[in-house]
Amino acid sequence: MGVKRIIFGVVALALLGGMGEAQEARNSALDRLSQRADLFGWEAVGKVTIGADGYCTGVLIAPDLVLTAGHCIYDRRAKGPRDPATLGFAAAQTDGAEVAARPVAAMVADPDYNPFVPLSVDTVRHDVALLQLSAPIPTSIAAPFRVGDVPAAGAEVSVVSYAQGRADALSWQKACSVFGRAKGLIGFDCDVDHGSSGAPVFDRSGLAAGGRAQIVSLVSSGSRKNGVSRAYGMELPAIVAQLKSALRSGRGVIRAASTSAGPSASAAPQIRGTLPAQGQPRILSGGGATGAKFLRP
């Protein structure tokens, strides 16, 4: 199909200094999880709805906590965080129906994530947000996933996500691989597109021993060139622990507005990234007014 830039510009391998040569992509086909039986075990993955027609992908890590990409909670037009009241989570949404849905009551992003600078190693490796739902989703309906460490380069991983052209149901790519990792940044040869922001990357190696898949990263950015897909994410355990602590203490937490004036000013996060906080957030919406918000260089 020639060169086709589907998502954002390529995060060049040079950006991932020390990762070495990328192995050939070996993407498997995407399975549409359209039936209840198909969704069994993946109910905790769902759509983070943004306003009337925007979305990202998110995943439950506790009955009331959803992990997603940090850039999903910022509004480039308002040049600040969104009001959590405009966000929601629909677990395993398929063809307009979901197993459970909840509004977002509060949210917090990695304080080292800066949404107002171009794509870089720093933006990708800190592109994480934690959403607190207005009420828990029972584990009997959607069992949360644990967060774990990224496996070594060459290891097989799996991605469950929504995306442009397949926004009506979750798609599962059973097998793609880690092609490199360095400085908290992870590269995968997984098939992603608009809407895949925040999609969980799973390590399923523990299934053979009777365990369950673990979340080892989130999709932050990606590209497709000459039919080869690349996705980029971050290491999660330390960031997730920090965000849980922030929610408990209230530090940097953005809460739903009590009026139409916007999110609570007293809870506005202080961005402390090392990159200069200048310029506009470079966000791309897929499918016209619809689709997730993805970083763009």
For range 106-117, the mean pLDDT: 92
Q: Rounded distance, CA 64 to CA 217, Å?
A: 19
Structural domains of the chain, with CATH: 13-259+274-295 (2.40.10.10)
Quote the strand ranges of the chain, DSSP E: 30-32, 45-50, 54-62, 65-68, 74-75, 80-81, 87-91, 100-109, 129-133, 156-163, 166-182, 185-188, 200-203, 214-218, 221-225, 228-234, 254-255, 283-285, 293-295
Q: How high is the pLDDT of residue 79?
A: 78
Cα dihedral sign, 25-163-49-8: positive
Pick the residue with more confidence: 80 or 63?
63
Q: What percent of the chain has pLDDT over 70?
A: 77
Q: How does pLDDT run across 203-212, given as a tens digit for each residue?
A: 999 887 778 9
Of 83-87, 169-173, 280-284, minimum mean pLDDT range: 280-284
Q: Cβ atoms within 10 A of the Cβ of 96, count?
A: 8
pTM of the model: 0.81
Q: How does pLDDT run across 119-142, given as a tens digit for each residue?
A: 888 899 999 999 999 999 999 999
Q: How high is the pLDDT of residue 263?
A: 56
User: Whole-number mean pLDDT of the chain?
Assistant: 79
Q: How does pLDDT run across 225-273, given as a tens digit for each residue?
A: 787 888 999 999 999 999 999 999 999 999 987 544 455 544 444 555 4
Is residue 110 very low, low, confident or very high in pLDDT (cuts 50, 70, 90)? very high
Judged against a pLDDT cut of 90, whether residue 288 lies above it is answered with no
Q: How high is the pLDDT of residue 27?
A: 46
Q: Which residue has the tokens 């999880």?
A: 33
Contact 192, 209 (CB under 8 A): no
For range 218-229, the mean pLDDT: 85
Q: Which residue has the tokens 């830039």?
A: 5
Pick the residue with more confidence: 69 or 38?
69
Q: How does pLDDT run across 176-189, given as a tens digit for each residue?
A: 999 998 889 999 99
Is residue 200 very low, low, confident or very high in pLDDT (cuts 50, 70, 90)? very high
Q: How high is the pLDDT of residue 121?
A: 86
Q: How does pLDDT run across 86-107, given as a tens digit for each residue?
A: 999 999 999 989 999 999 999 9
Judged against a pLDDT cut of 90, whether residue 224 lies above it is answered with no
Judged against a pLDDT cut of 60, whether residue 201 lies above it is answered with yes
Q: How many CA atoms lie within 13 A of 188 on its CB side?
A: 34
Q: Which residue has the tokens 């950006």?
A: 15
